[in-house]
Structure 1
Amino acid sequence: MARAGLGLGVRELAELAQVSTNTITRLERGESLYSRTVEAIRVALETAGVEFIPENGGGAGVRLKRLEGMKL
Protein backbone atom coordinates (compact mmCIF):
# COMPACT_ATOMS: atom_id res chain seq x y z
CA MET A 1 0.00 0.00 0.00
CA ALA A 2 2.83 2.40 0.82
CA ARG A 3 4.56 1.76 -2.50
CA ALA A 4 1.34 2.21 -4.45
CA GLY A 5 0.48 5.41 -2.58
CA LEU A 6 3.77 6.90 -3.70
CA GLY A 7 3.29 5.68 -7.25
CA LEU A 8 6.51 3.67 -7.09
CA GLY A 9 7.10 0.51 -9.05
CA VAL A 10 8.90 -2.49 -7.61
CA ARG A 11 12.11 -1.52 -9.40
CA GLU A 12 12.02 2.06 -8.10
CA LEU A 13 11.49 0.99 -4.49
CA ALA A 14 14.19 -1.66 -4.79
CA GLU A 15 16.61 0.98 -6.03
CA LEU A 16 15.71 3.42 -3.24
CA ALA A 17 16.14 0.71 -0.58
CA GLN A 18 19.21 -0.77 -2.29
CA VAL A 19 17.71 -4.26 -2.36
CA SER A 20 16.74 -6.58 -5.21
CA THR A 21 13.34 -6.50 -6.89
CA ASN A 22 12.85 -10.09 -5.69
CA THR A 23 13.22 -8.83 -2.11
CA ILE A 24 10.42 -6.29 -2.60
CA THR A 25 8.22 -9.00 -4.13
CA ARG A 26 8.95 -11.34 -1.21
CA LEU A 27 8.06 -8.60 1.29
CA GLU A 28 4.77 -7.90 -0.47
CA ARG A 29 3.92 -11.62 -0.43
CA GLY A 30 4.46 -11.66 3.33
CA GLU A 31 7.56 -13.83 3.24
CA SER A 32 10.23 -13.57 5.95
CA LEU A 33 13.09 -11.14 5.45
CA TYR A 34 16.01 -10.12 7.62
CA SER A 35 15.06 -7.29 9.98
CA ARG A 36 17.83 -5.08 8.53
CA THR A 37 16.31 -5.56 5.06
CA VAL A 38 12.83 -4.61 6.27
CA GLU A 39 14.34 -1.55 7.98
CA ALA A 40 16.08 -0.48 4.75
CA ILE A 41 12.77 -0.68 2.88
CA ARG A 42 10.95 1.18 5.65
CA VAL A 43 13.54 3.99 5.66
CA ALA A 44 13.32 4.27 1.87
CA LEU A 45 9.52 4.58 2.04
CA GLU A 46 9.66 7.13 4.87
CA THR A 47 12.25 9.18 2.98
CA ALA A 48 9.98 9.09 -0.08
CA GLY A 49 7.06 10.47 1.94
CA VAL A 50 5.25 7.66 3.76
CA GLU A 51 4.31 7.84 7.43
CA PHE A 52 3.73 4.54 9.23
CA ILE A 53 0.83 4.62 11.68
CA PRO A 54 0.98 2.38 14.76
CA GLU A 55 -1.88 0.05 15.56
CA ASN A 56 -4.62 2.04 17.26
CA GLY A 57 -7.47 -0.43 17.51
CA GLY A 58 -8.04 -0.53 13.78
CA GLY A 59 -4.72 -2.06 12.85
CA ALA A 60 -1.45 -0.58 11.70
CA GLY A 61 -1.39 1.45 8.50
CA VAL A 62 0.34 4.02 6.33
CA ARG A 63 -0.42 7.48 5.01
CA LEU A 64 1.40 10.01 2.92
CA LYS A 65 3.16 12.72 4.89
CA ARG A 66 1.59 16.14 4.65
CA LEU A 67 3.80 18.51 2.73
CA GLU A 68 4.33 21.92 4.32
CA GLY A 69 2.12 24.59 2.82
CA MET A 70 -0.10 22.06 1.10
CA LYS A 71 -3.76 21.65 2.09
CA LEU A 72 -5.27 18.22 1.73
Structure 2
Amino acid sequence: MITPAQIRAARAMLDLTIERLSQESGISALLILQIESGNGYEAGPSDHLALRQALERLGVLFLSSGEAGPGGAGLRLAAADHQEGMRPEELNSTNND
Protein backbone atom coordinates (compact mmCIF):
# COMPACT_ATOMS: atom_id res chain seq x y z
CA MET A 1 0.00 0.00 0.00
CA ILE A 2 1.24 3.51 -0.75
CA THR A 3 2.14 5.76 2.15
CA PRO A 4 0.73 9.19 3.03
CA ALA A 5 4.16 10.70 2.32
CA GLN A 6 4.20 9.15 -1.16
CA ILE A 7 0.78 10.61 -1.94
CA ARG A 8 1.83 14.08 -0.76
CA ALA A 9 5.10 13.85 -2.71
CA ALA A 10 3.35 12.62 -5.85
CA ARG A 11 0.89 15.51 -5.72
CA ALA A 12 3.77 17.94 -5.28
CA MET A 13 5.74 16.43 -8.18
CA LEU A 14 2.71 16.64 -10.46
CA ASP A 15 1.57 20.02 -9.08
CA LEU A 16 -1.86 18.54 -8.35
CA THR A 17 -4.47 20.02 -6.08
CA ILE A 18 -6.50 17.84 -3.74
CA GLU A 19 -9.55 18.67 -5.84
CA ARG A 20 -7.92 17.49 -9.09
CA LEU A 21 -6.74 14.26 -7.46
CA SER A 22 -10.26 13.78 -6.12
CA GLN A 23 -11.70 14.15 -9.63
CA GLU A 24 -9.11 11.79 -11.14
CA SER A 25 -9.46 9.11 -8.45
CA GLY A 26 -13.11 9.32 -7.47
CA ILE A 27 -12.06 9.67 -3.81
CA SER A 28 -13.48 12.59 -1.84
CA ALA A 29 -11.14 15.51 -1.16
CA LEU A 30 -11.79 15.16 2.58
CA LEU A 31 -10.77 11.50 2.58
CA ILE A 32 -7.61 12.32 0.59
CA LEU A 33 -6.71 14.96 3.19
CA GLN A 34 -7.29 12.43 5.95
CA ILE A 35 -5.18 9.78 4.21
CA GLU A 36 -2.35 12.26 3.58
CA SER A 37 -2.34 13.27 7.25
CA GLY A 38 -2.21 9.64 8.37
CA ASN A 39 -5.74 9.80 9.80
CA GLY A 40 -7.58 8.04 6.99
CA TYR A 41 -9.13 5.44 9.26
CA GLU A 42 -12.16 5.14 7.01
CA ALA A 43 -10.00 4.55 3.93
CA GLY A 44 -9.84 0.99 2.70
CA PRO A 45 -7.47 -0.77 0.33
CA SER A 46 -9.71 0.13 -2.62
CA ASP A 47 -9.30 3.85 -1.80
CA HIS A 48 -5.52 3.54 -1.71
CA LEU A 49 -5.59 1.58 -4.96
CA ALA A 50 -7.74 4.25 -6.66
CA LEU A 51 -5.31 6.97 -5.56
CA ARG A 52 -2.32 4.96 -6.74
CA GLN A 53 -3.89 4.24 -10.13
CA ALA A 54 -4.86 7.88 -10.64
CA LEU A 55 -1.37 9.12 -9.75
CA GLU A 56 0.26 6.51 -11.98
CA ARG A 57 -2.04 7.52 -14.85
CA LEU A 58 -0.96 11.13 -14.29
CA GLY A 59 2.73 10.24 -14.50
CA VAL A 60 4.19 8.93 -11.23
CA LEU A 61 5.90 5.57 -10.65
CA PHE A 62 5.77 4.15 -7.13
CA LEU A 63 8.89 2.35 -5.93
CA SER A 64 8.98 -0.35 -3.27
CA SER A 65 11.57 -0.33 -0.54
CA GLY A 66 14.95 -1.18 -2.06
CA GLU A 67 13.62 -1.20 -5.64
CA ALA A 68 15.91 1.57 -6.86
CA GLY A 69 18.91 0.88 -4.67
CA PRO A 70 19.16 1.22 -0.92
CA GLY A 71 16.41 3.11 0.85
CA GLY A 72 12.76 3.00 1.63
CA ALA A 73 9.66 3.29 -0.50
CA GLY A 74 9.64 6.23 -2.90
CA LEU A 75 8.49 7.49 -6.26
CA ARG A 76 9.70 9.10 -9.44
CA LEU A 77 8.23 10.74 -12.49
CA ALA A 78 7.45 8.37 -15.33
CA ALA A 79 9.17 8.88 -18.65
CA ALA A 80 7.20 11.27 -20.81
CA ASP A 81 5.47 9.72 -23.81
CA HIS A 82 6.24 12.74 -25.90
CA GLN A 83 9.28 14.90 -26.22
CA GLU A 84 8.77 18.37 -24.83
CA GLY A 85 10.42 21.28 -26.54
CA MET A 86 13.20 21.22 -29.07
CA ARG A 87 16.79 20.18 -28.83
CA PRO A 88 19.24 23.13 -28.83
CA GLU A 89 20.66 22.15 -32.22
CA GLU A 90 17.14 22.35 -33.72
CA LEU A 91 16.62 25.96 -32.67
CA ASN A 92 16.91 28.64 -35.33
CA SER A 93 15.35 31.97 -36.26
CA THR A 94 12.44 30.34 -38.13
CA ASN A 95 11.13 28.52 -35.07
CA ASN A 96 11.79 31.25 -32.52
CA ASP A 97 8.50 31.90 -30.69
Relative to the length of structure 1, the TM-score reads 0.89
Q: What is the RMSD computed on CA atoms of the aligned residues? A: 1.5
The letter of the residue matching 1:53 is L
Q: Give the paired residue count.
A: 71
Equivalent residue for 1:8? Answer: 16
Q: Partners of 1:62 and 1:68 in 2: how far apart?
A: 18
Flag as ranges the 4+ runs of structure 1 deviating above 6 A. Answer: none
Who wins on radius of gyration, i.e. which is larger? 2
1:14 deviation in Å?
A: 0.6
Give the gaps of 5 or more residues in structure 2. 1-8, 85-97
Give the gaps of 5 or more residues in structure 1. none
Higher relative CO (Cα under 8 Å, sequence separation at least 6) belongs to: 1
Q: For residues 14-69 of structure 1, give each alpha carbon's deviation from its aligned partner in whole angstroms, at most 9, with x where no partner exists.
A: 11001110011011101232000010000000000000011013100011101146
Equivalent residue for 1:23? Answer: 31
Relative to the length of structure 2, the TM-score reads 0.67
